Chain A
Amino acid sequence: MAKILIVDDEAPLRTMLSHMLIADNHEVIVAEDGGQGIKLYHEGMPDLVISDLVMPNKNGIDMILELKRDYPDLRLIAISGGGGITGAFDYLPTAKLVGADSILKKPFGIQELRDALKKSLGN
Chain B
Amino acid sequence: MTTAISSSLDSSSLDSSTHDSSASISRLRDTVKGMRILVIDDDDLLCQEIKIRLEHHGHVVDTALSGEQGIIQVELFRPQIVLVDWLMSGMNGLDVCRALRKSQLGEFLYIMVFTQHDNEDLLVDAFDAGADDYIPKPISPRVLLARIRAGERLLRLQGEVDRERRDGHRYLDIVEVMILGIDIQGNITLVNRKGCDVLGYDEREIMGCNWFEAIIPQEYRGPIQAIFDYAVDGNMEGLGFFESQLVTRKGERRLIAWHSSVIYDQGKISGLLFAGDDITNGRQADLERKKLAKDLQQAQKMQAVGNLTGGIAHNFNNILASIIGYTELAQELIADSGEKNLMFFLESVHSAGTEAKSLVETLMSFSRGAEGELKAPLLLPVLNDVERMLKPVLTSAVQLNISMRSQIPTVLANPEHIHQMVTNLCINARDAMNNSGKIDISLQHHAHLSGTCGSCHEAFEGEYVELRVADQGSGIPNAVLGSMFDPFFSTKDVGKGTGLGLPMVHGTMHGYQGHILVDSEMNKGTAFRLLFPVTSVAQVEELAIDSLG
Contact = CB atoms under 8 A, between A and B. Distances in A.
A87 B305 CA distance: 10
Contact of A13 (B313, B321, B328, B332): B321
B321 A106 contact: yes
B320 A106 contact: yes
Interface string A105-118: 11111110000000
B374 to A, nearest CB: 13
B325 A81 contact: no
A85 interface: yes
Contacts of B333: 23
B368 A82 contact: yes
B176 to A, nearest CB: 52
Given A81-B316, A81-B317, A82-B368, A16 B322 contact: yes
Contacts of B307: 85-88
B321 A108 contact: yes
A44 interface: no
Given A19-B326, A107-B357, A110-B328, A81 B318 contact: yes
A23 B364 contact: no
Contacts of B319: 12
B311 interface: yes
B367 interface: yes
A107 B314 contact: no
Given A82-B368, A88-B368, A16 B310 contact: no
Given A12-B322, A90-B371, A106-B321, A81 B329 contact: no
B329 A84 contact: no
B353 interface: yes
Interface string B135-148: 00000000000000
B318 A106 contact: yes
B324 interface: yes
Given A107-B353, A107-B357, A84 B314 contact: yes
B104 interface: no
A66 interface: no
Contacts of B324: 107-109
A103 interface: no
Nearest to A23: B329
B93 interface: no
A16 B326 contact: yes
B315 A81 contact: yes
A87 B325 contact: no
A67 interface: no
Contacts of B368: 82-83, 88-90
Contacts of A12: 318-319, 322
B318 A10 contact: yes
B501 interface: no
B239 interface: no
B306 interface: yes
A106 B367 CA distance: 17
A1 to B, nearest CB: 16
Given A16-B322, A20-B325, A82-B368, A87 B314 contact: no
Interface in A74-106: 79, 81-90, 97, 105-106
Nearest to B325: A16
B314 A81 contact: yes
Given A19-B329, A110-B332, A85 B311 contact: yes
A6 interface: no
Nearest to B330: A19
Interface string B348-385: 00000100010000001001110100000000000000
Contacts of B306: 88
B323 interface: yes
Contacts of A23: 329, 332-333
Nearest to B357: A107
A13 B314 CA distance: 13
Contacts of B332: 23, 110
A113 to B, nearest CB: 8
A54 B317 CA distance: 12
Given A54-B314, A81-B313, A81-B315, A88 B325 contact: no
B30 to A, nearest CB: 82
A106 B317 contact: yes
A17 interface: yes
Interface in A1-18: 10, 12-13, 16-17
A54 B313 CA distance: 13
B314 A16 contact: no
Interface in B282-334: 306-307, 309-311, 313-326, 328-329, 332-333
Nearest to A15: B322
Contacts of B310: 83-85, 87-88
Contacts of B371: 90
Given A19-B326, A106-B318, A106-B321, A82 B353 contact: no
A13 B318 contact: yes
Given A88-B369, A106-B321, A109-B328, 9 more contacts: A17-B325, A19-B326, A19-B329, A81-B317, A82-B364, A84-B311, A106-B320, A108-B325, A110-B325
Interface of A: 10, 12-13, 16-17, 19-20, 23, 54, 79, 81-90, 97, 105-111
7 contacts: A13-B325, A16-B329, A19-B329, A82-B314, A83-B317, A90-B371, A109-B325
